[in-house]
Structure formats: structure tokens, C-alpha cells
Chain A
């Protein structure tokens, strides 16, 4: 590998890693409050990609209920991304009300909640297939507008071209990470989220409506999933209704690597996995997904508390 290729792969790794990070933050937020993995998160990621596709005014394919349909209007990409993410957030809210809250009020085992969310994931994926079919959708090229297709990070003699799309997804993801960090650490609702994640019972005795905060958390989580889905869709196209499943699993590797419920850890782990994947040699690229899980196993063996976590002292 020569230097320009290394640099190019490094930049691509940063871009995809930043998407892994925001996607994994969606898992992390819910986990830190409820101590449950929301398996529907991967399906919401997929939905977000389709929402944005639809809002861009692009036409659906020949299969499914929405065959050959397109919205009568077309939103510019930034707006489509935002509205698509908001819709994904609302789906997150619905998932909480239908699959999580009823079990929580009954005091059900967290394992049941996990299975329930897995059920929602399967239902959502099937719904997508029913509505828009299983074909691959590519975002219309006009998304980039008049921007060039690639930007050169090297010199004219030693070019290091990086696709503009990769730069966009990196920029959007970083903005989201900064905003989320501000929300968690700099606002009163963020403090309330921290309090609920530490001790929900005590928070409720201080007048905090924990159910509403949980709803808000699912909205945020769905929003992050929707943004991530759109960005990946933009980068590599929407690979059918099951497109979110492999990212969903990879997201799990990211949060375990980062330490469950650890926000800075999830961001770091997202970048790490993105970078490592981008350096998988071309002839082994089919085995790229295995890399994330190899890292996961190594982590569980040698550092189960996560990248940034302190060793947990066993409580008596």
C-alpha cells in the first residue's frame, strides 16, 4: 500500500466510522436508561434511509404497495435528511409505546423486552418489503447539487481523492455528536437523563416523569438511527429492507467495544471499527464484517468494561 492509498483509506475510515458512532449512540442512549438493547434500532436505521429517499421526491420501484409512486414534491437533501430523521424519531417513540412500555409497567424480565424489540424489528423490515419491495434504491445524483464528485486532499502530482459524499457524512455525523454532547452535558434535560440512567427510582421521587424522559430518549435514538441510515444510504445506496440488519449487528459490536452505555466510548469505538475495516486488504473485503466482531471478542476477553470504562467494582 502506498502513502496516498493509506491516507485515502484513513479518510474513508473516518467517514464511515463517524456514521457507526452516531448509529451506536442510538443504542447507547436507550441502553443507559433502560439497560436493554433495542433491537429495533437497525430497522429504524433502514426506515430512515427510505424516508429520506422518499422525501427527496425519488420514485419507488416496480414492487410493493407504493410501486411507481413518488411524492409530488421534492425536498433539498439537508431538509429531507432532517425530516426523515424526525420521522424516524417518531417511529422510535411508537416502538417505545408498543414494545417497551407495556412490558416495563408489568415489571417484565428485560429479556422479554429484548425479544419484543426483536419482534418489532422483524415486523418493520417486513412492512418495508410489503410497501416498497426488496430492490436496491440509489439516491438521485442531484443530491450533491453542483458539488464535485470528489475532493482532492493531496497535491496535483500525488492526488488523494475522497468522495464528496464521504466528506458530507463525516461533517453531518460530527455536528450530531457535538449537538448530542451539548444536549447531555449542557442542558437540564441532559442532566435529567443522566439522573434517570443512574437511578430512575430516585429521579422519580424528585418529581421527574421517567416515562416521558424514556419517550424522549427513544425519539433521540430513532433520530440518530434515521440520520445514520440516510448517510449510509447516500454513501452506498439502500440495499433492500434487510440493509439495516448487518449495520444493526455492527452497532452492537461498537457499543460493546465502547463500553455499554458509555457515550464517548461509543464514538471512539465507532471510529476504531470504521478505520480498521477500511484497512482490510481488497482481496479480503468480503470478510470485512468479521473484523468488527473479532475486535468485539478480543475486547470481551481482555477489557470487558469497554475502551474508556473503569473496571467495575463488584457491589456487595
Chain B
């Protein structure tokens, strides 16, 4: 119920929900059913500010479905989602992205026909002057469009520099090697200036050395951009060495949650992984 004029100042203040910056992502009783299949079943966990939080589990455990729920691509059958203390269940993907949740994909999804620079600039849209007047200003190149454009390009180039792709900024994304595409996708996600970054199997297709480099890179991202990171990963040693806390999913259910050492020795986790391989 919205505040009414009869309420005192204190009453209105008391009803305001405080923005809980510490709890960046709060997943409550998240459930998603596809026909008869419970892809995600009553999963709850909190990702705290500045954490690198790992989400692991056997194939088909519901990890990517959970990512799709968190980013609004699919709607939960039941349960709630909170971002920095604010509920956003049922919101559309572009709204959630604008609020500050960015992601990458397991199978990289770049705009292949656009250049690396354009890919990154697309994600800066929400940070430029918008609306119908923004559209007109953009088409006619009136203020503030030229200034916006210059800043957008400069910021995008900084990000490309950081992932080592600045020299090839004008090359079409589809012409990049696999590893470069992964880094470009991360640069694009960062261009949104997210507070929470979701990485879906960032190490897929990398060799051992690249995986080591990836851990350092992800830590650097967290520190440099003061963001929180939630990642899905199959490669257990990488997750154990990198993550502050880990959640384990199996058949859509959360079977363990805690620091890497504890999770590694959890009998339910061992059972899930051995059962999967056996």
C-alpha cells in the first residue's frame, strides 16, 4: 500500500524498505517447473557484496535455468528475487539489466555482424540520454548526443583495452578466436556497469594455463570494478581455488552451501558427483 497523506513523516519513513547493499542477490524459494520437470526446486541463497560465489552441480542440475530466472529470461513458477534489498520478481530482462545485473553465456552470444567496439557500445545504451528526445537528438546529432557518443566510445575502448582487444576494435565479432570472444563478451557485460556479474562457464574450452589466468582475471574484475560475481563452472579445482562460497545444485535442489572446503567434503556433494560419473 502506498503512503497516504494521513501518515506522519515517521510512519512513512518506517515503511520504506531499506536498500540492503550487503545482500546483493537474495534468491528465495526459487522454483521453476517445465511441464512435469522441476528444473529448479525451492532454491534459496544470498550472495553478499564483493563475493565470488560459485554455482556447481552435475549436468542438468538447473544451474543455467537459475541464471535465466535471475536475469528475467524466464519467470519463476514460485519464489522471489531481491537485488540489493529490492524485490524484482517478474521484471523484464532489460529492466533487470538496467538495475545492474549483467551476464555472459555458456555458448557465447555476441552480435557477430557488429564490430567488437559496437558490441561493447550497445551495452552503454542505457547510460546515454534516452527517450523520444534522446532518439531525435541521436538521429540529428544534436547535444547531448555527440558528447554521449564520445564518452561511450572512450569507455568502450577502455574496456577493450583491459581485455586486450583494443587493436582489433573494428573487427567483426564473428572473426575473433574463441578465447577472444569470451573476453569480448565479458567486456560487453562490464559496459553495463553492473553491480552483479553472472558468468556462465567462463572456463569452457580453455586449457589449464588459460584457466589459471582466468582466476586472476576474475579476481581483478571484482577488485577493479567493485562488483559481486556469481559464476557457474564445471571445473572443480578452478571453483575451489577462486570462490569464496559455493552452492551445489543437484536435480534442481540446493544440496550444499558454504565455503569450498566444507562443500568439498560434504557427503551429499560427493554422492551427487560420484553418482553422476558412475
Contacts and interface: CB of A to CB of B under 8 A. Distances in A.
Question: Does A associate with B in a complex?
Answer: yes
Interface in B142-161: 149, 152
A206 B97 contact: yes
Interface stretch (B5-13, B53-61, B108-116): B108-116
A192 B122 CA distance: 6
A199 B102 CA distance: 16
Given A194-B111, A194-B113, A198-B112, A206 B139 contact: no
A172 interface: no
B97 A189 contact: no
B128 interface: yes
A306 to B, nearest CB: 16
Interface string A176-218: 0000000100011101101100110111111111100000100
Contacts of A189: 135, 138-139
A187 B122 contact: no
A207 B123 contact: yes
B122 to A, nearest CB: 5
Contacts of B135: 189, 216
Contacts of A205: 71, 73, 93-94, 97, 102-103
Interface residues of A, number: 21
B170 interface: no
A201 B110 CA distance: 11
A239 to B, nearest CB: 35
Interface string B121-144: 111011010000001001100000
B113 A198 contact: yes
Interface size class of B (residues with CB under 8 A): 20 to 34
Most buried by B among A191, A194, A195, A205: A205
B214 to A, nearest CB: 22
B168 interface: no
B109 A207 contact: no
A45 B126 CA distance: 34
Contacts of A187: 138-139
A207 B113 contact: no
B98 interface: yes
Interface string B180-214: 00000000100010000000000000000000000
A183 B139 contact: yes
A194 B121 CA distance: 13
Interface in A208-241: 208-210, 216
B108 to A, nearest CB: 10
B118 interface: yes
A183 B141 CA distance: 11
Contacts of B92: 204, 209
A90 to B, nearest CB: 13
17 contacts: A183-B139, A189-B135, A194-B113, A195-B111, A203-B122, A204-B93, A204-B94, A205-B93, A205-B94, A205-B97, A205-B102, A206-B102, A207-B94, A207-B98, A207-B126, A208-B125, A210-B94
Given A201-B93, A206-B192, 8 more contacts: A194-B113, A203-B122, A206-B97, A206-B122, A207-B97, A207-B125, A208-B94, A208-B122
